[in-house]
């Protein structure tokens, strides 16, 4: 039996992709007989507490709490720079280093100073895509032998079974921040002239004062439950995800699993798992408009392809592969 200290702090701050990864991984690990999970969390939710979390928690308190574990696993790049037990760190992307202008000053400066030290301290780094694994090599000079690729997955309630939301709409999902490229999507949607179709945007506000226009056929729904999100995926004419940079692109996979045709940015990690997806140049509203038009015209065909591809990517597989990393570092 392996005793694993797992940092669950991301659950206190977000419901976005990293939190979904952590929730699903926790649930799947609960069915693995070889491990015993000990959850540790910095629970303050205020953004004013972020420096305390990043410095006091990760550089001091968390390593001390994990000192009797066989493995310490941090599910994001926020992690200790020293650990008395083998350290596993999951990297979802390196956007903060590749596109620092898309992040606030604290995150930029913290990441530039700490991420290289985290990468050196980790016994193994889990990358959620081959693309992210290569980013670790290119940007942090991580030896390839330290990296294990464990791709993300999808599970309930994201399936084609169930009701779809009513109305004629294109769905966009993601935190409202510069990297998610909302202005280009809105402009592409308008240029597509989709005969009264509405653009519905799901996601919490991030940083950067990105506008979420409430008129002209564009409606921001804010955060919704997973069940409601699945209903929106099922009912959408198509789902659009035109982020400028991703380490994986979990909403694309969720939409595929629900049978939605997808328009996605032409990014390397998307091609690692996507089917039933029309890829576009995220910098070009005309390309986005053409992609939306194509997806709507091929909606049924693309939905079938996406459902088939998503069926092979489940969270029990992620848990098994993650436990294999735990065993490797604890040996």
Q: Cα(149)–Cα(79) distance, rounded to whole angstroms?
A: 19
Say if 60 falls within a structural domain.
yes
Do 142 and 8 share a domain, yes or no?
Answer: yes
Q: Which residue has the tokens 């699903």?
A: 24
Contacts of 293 (CB under 8 A, 6+ apart): 192, 194
pLDDT bucket at 228, cuts 50 / 70 / 90: very high
pLDDT score for 207:
58
Question: What does the pLDDT average to over 201-227?
Answer: 78
CA distances from 301 to 123, 238, 274 (A): 44, 12, 14
Say if 66 falls within a structural domain.
yes
Prediction pTM value = 0.92
CA distances from 227 to 163, 200, 240, 316 (A): 10, 16, 19, 20
Domain that includes residue 123, residue range: 2-153+314-330
pLDDT bucket at 161, cuts 50 / 70 / 90: very high
pLDDT score for 213:
54
Say if 36 falls within a structural domain.
yes
Q: Which range has the worst mean pLDDT, 79-83, 205-209, 314-318, 325-329?
A: 205-209
Question: What does the pLDDT average to over 197-210?
Answer: 79
Do 121 and 208 share a domain, yes or no?
Answer: no
pLDDT score for 215:
61
| pLDDT tens by residue, 244-277 | 999 999 999 999 999 999 999 999 999 999 998 9
Do 304 and 324 share a domain, yes or no?
Answer: no
Do 118 and 88 share a domain, yes or no?
Answer: yes
Q: Cα(9)–Cα(261) distance, rounded to whole angstroms?
A: 34
Is the pLDDT at 80 greater than 90? The verdict is yes
133, 163 contact by CB (below 8 A): no
Is the pLDDT at 45 greater than 80? The verdict is no
Say if 270 falls within a structural domain.
yes
Q: Which range has the worst mean pLDDT, 7-11, 257-261, 284-288, 323-327?
A: 7-11
Do 121 and 199 share a domain, yes or no?
Answer: no
Say if 158 falls within a structural domain.
no
Do 294 and 320 share a domain, yes or no?
Answer: no
Tokens of 51: 């420096």
The full 3-state SS of 70-136, as one line of letters, equals CEEEECCCCCCCCCCCCEEEEECCCHHHHCHHHCCHHHHHHHHHHHHHHHHHCCEEEECCHHHHHHH
Say if 164 falls within a structural domain.
no
Do 175 and 148 share a domain, yes or no?
Answer: no
Following DSSP, what letter does each residue of 133-176 receive, concatenated?
HHHHHHHH---GGGEEE------TT-SS-S----SSEEEEES-B
Is the pLDDT at 123 greater than 70? The verdict is yes
* Domains of the chain: total: 2
Do 46 and 9 share a domain, yes or no?
Answer: yes
Q: Which residue has the tokens 């200290």?
A: 5
- Residue 64 maps to which CATH number? 3.40.50.2000
Q: Is 288 helix (H, G, I), strand (E, B) or coil?
A: helix
Do 135 and 217 share a domain, yes or no?
Answer: no
Do 16 and 112 share a domain, yes or no?
Answer: yes
Say if 274 falls within a structural domain.
yes
Do 233 and 293 share a domain, yes or no?
Answer: yes
| pLDDT tens by residue, 291-319 | 999 999 999 999 999 999 999 899 999 99
Say if 69 falls within a structural domain.
yes
Q: What is the mean pLDDT of the chain?
A: 93
Question: What does the pLDDT average to over 278-300?
Answer: 97
pLDDT score for 175:
84
pLDDT score for 209:
55
Do 174 and 105 share a domain, yes or no?
Answer: no
């Amino acid at each position: 039996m392996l005793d694993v200290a797992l940092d669950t702090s991301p659950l206190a701050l977000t419901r976005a992709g990293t939190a979904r990864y952590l929730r699903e991984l926790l649930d799947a690990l609960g069915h693995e007989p070889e491990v015993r999970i000990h959850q540790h969390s910095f629970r303050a939710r205020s953004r004013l507490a972020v420096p305390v979390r990043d410095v006091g928690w990760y550089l001091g308190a968390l390593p001390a709490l994990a000192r009797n574990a066989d493995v310490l696993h941090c599910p994001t790049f926020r992690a200790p720079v020293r650990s008395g037990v083998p350290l596993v760190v999951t990297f979802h992307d390196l956007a903060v280093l590749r596109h620092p202008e898309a992040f606030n000053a604290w995150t930029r400066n913290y990441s530039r100073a700490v991420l290289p030290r985290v990468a050196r301290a980790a016994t193994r780094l889990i990358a959620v895509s081959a693309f992210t694994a290569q980013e670790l090599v290119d940007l942090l000079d991580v030896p390839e032998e330290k990296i294990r690729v464990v791709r993300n997955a999808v599970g309930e309630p994201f399936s084609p079974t169930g009701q779809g939301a009513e109305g004629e709409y294109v769905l966009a999902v993601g935190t409202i921040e510069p990297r998610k490229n909302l202005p280009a999507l809105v402009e592409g949607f308008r240029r597509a002239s989709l005969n009264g179709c509405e653009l519905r945007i799901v996601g919490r506000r991030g940083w950067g004062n990105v506008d979420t226009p409430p008129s002209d056929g564009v409606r921001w729904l804010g955060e919704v439950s997973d069940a409601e999100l699945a209903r929106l995926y099922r009912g959408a004419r198509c789902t659009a995800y035109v982020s400028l940079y991703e380490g994986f692109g979990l909403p694309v996979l969720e939409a595929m699993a629900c049978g939605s045709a997808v328009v996605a940015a032409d990014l390397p990690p998307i091609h690692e798992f996507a089917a039933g997806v029309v890829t576009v140049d995220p910098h070009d509203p005309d390309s986005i408009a053409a992609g939306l038009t194509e997806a709507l015209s091929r909606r049924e065909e693309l939905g079938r392809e996406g459902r088939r591809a998503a069926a092979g990517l489940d969270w029990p597989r992620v848990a098994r592969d993650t436990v294999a990393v735990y065993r490797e570092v604890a040996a």
